[in-house]
Amino acid sequence: MDDKNLVATQIAYYRARAGEYDQWFLRQGRYDHGPENRRQWQQEAGVVEAAVKSTIQNADVLELACGTGLWTRHLAPLNRVVAVDSSPEVIAFNRARTGAENVEYHVADLFTWRAPGPFDFVFFSFWLSHVPPARFDSFWAIVRAALKPGGSAFFIDSLLDRTSTAHGQTLDRTGMSKRRLNDGREFEVVKIFYDPPALEQRLANLGFHGRVHTTEHFFLYASMALE
Ligand SMILES: C[S@@+](CC[C@H](N)C(=O)[O-])C[C@H]1O[C@@H](n2cnc3c(N)ncnc32)[C@H](O)[C@@H]1O
């Protein structure tokens, strides 16, 4: 699949998945791996949530690929947020969940959209892993262009864990993943599991400095300051 098709397929996939997206994070339905898995997931998500809340305060924040608001809800009470996503369906869920007047929403393909700015933080959760490899550097150029001097990128993403996805779904290091919706429709999306030290080094080469942290099983997260 060429690069443009990858982007278009991912946009279509997340539009179609909007109404069932949260089942993944809430460990419900096909993502239910039992109470112990859910408890561990929630505990690790809590660690990341605390890092977000303590790091990003009183700031102008650009949230890329904001989705249904699972993280917008933590950013909105403490900051002024501009949130963008290509799916009007997930933005509707986000608005309902966040209910905040200090969030400005945009429906757009972030690869071609020009963000209003500049911002203290550019935030993106479970998005970097979906950026096509050929767009890695140009994506980080978008992040850089949106930041104030001395600003930071805060991101959260997935570690490779068998239970982080749906039952019966393949999970590997090929960089591509076949995703099935509850109604059986299938889409092929980019899903890259980054090695934290290698990612740190790669970002340092692009002028973003910081540590990529990990939780025990499921998540990586980082606040990377622009030099
Ligand atoms: C894995 S979800 C993450 C959502 C949210 N950040 C979260 O953590 O729950 C990826 C999101 O990226 C959005 N998306 C996919 N391609 C996009 C694009 N080209 N421009 C903007 N958003 C895009 C999808 O609509 C979806 O909401």
User: For 187-199, how does the pLDDT look when each residue is reduced to its tens digit (9 = 90+)?
Assistant: 999 999 999 999 9
Ligand 1 pocket residues where CB is under 6 Å: 7, 10-11, 14, 65-67, 70-71, 85-87, 90, 109-111, 125-127, 130
Q: What is the pLDDT of residue 190?
A: 94
Taking alpha carbons only, the member of 52, 67, 65 closest to residue 19 is 67
> What distance lies between CA 35 and its chain's CA centroid?
25
What is the C-alpha to C-alpha distance for residues 166 and 162, in angstroms, rounded to an integer? 9
Q: What is the pLDDT of residue 11?
A: 98
Amino acid occupying residue 47: V
CA 155 to ligand 1 center in whole angstroms: 13
71: phi > 0 → left, psi -120 to 50 → alpha, else beta; which? alpha
Q: What is the pLDDT of residue 123?
A: 98
What is the C-alpha to C-alpha distance for residues 29 and 79, in angstroms, rounded to an integer? 33
Q: Is pLDDT of 168 > 90?
A: no
pLDDT digits (tens, 9 = 90+) for 42-88: 999 999 999 999 999 999 999 999 999 999 999 999 999 999 999 99
Q: What is the pLDDT of residue 164?
A: 81
Amino acid occupying residue 169: Q
What is the SS3 assignment for 148?
Answer: strand
Q: Is the dihedral of CA 104, 140, 169, 34 positive or negative?
A: negative
Is the model's pTM score more than 0.95?
yes
Question: In sequence order, which residues have a C-beta less than 8 Å from that of residue 67 and are 6 or more positions away?
Answer: 14, 21, 85, 90, 94, 125, 126
Ligand 1 test: best mutation among 13, 26, 87, 158, most atoms within 8 Å of CB?
Answer: 87
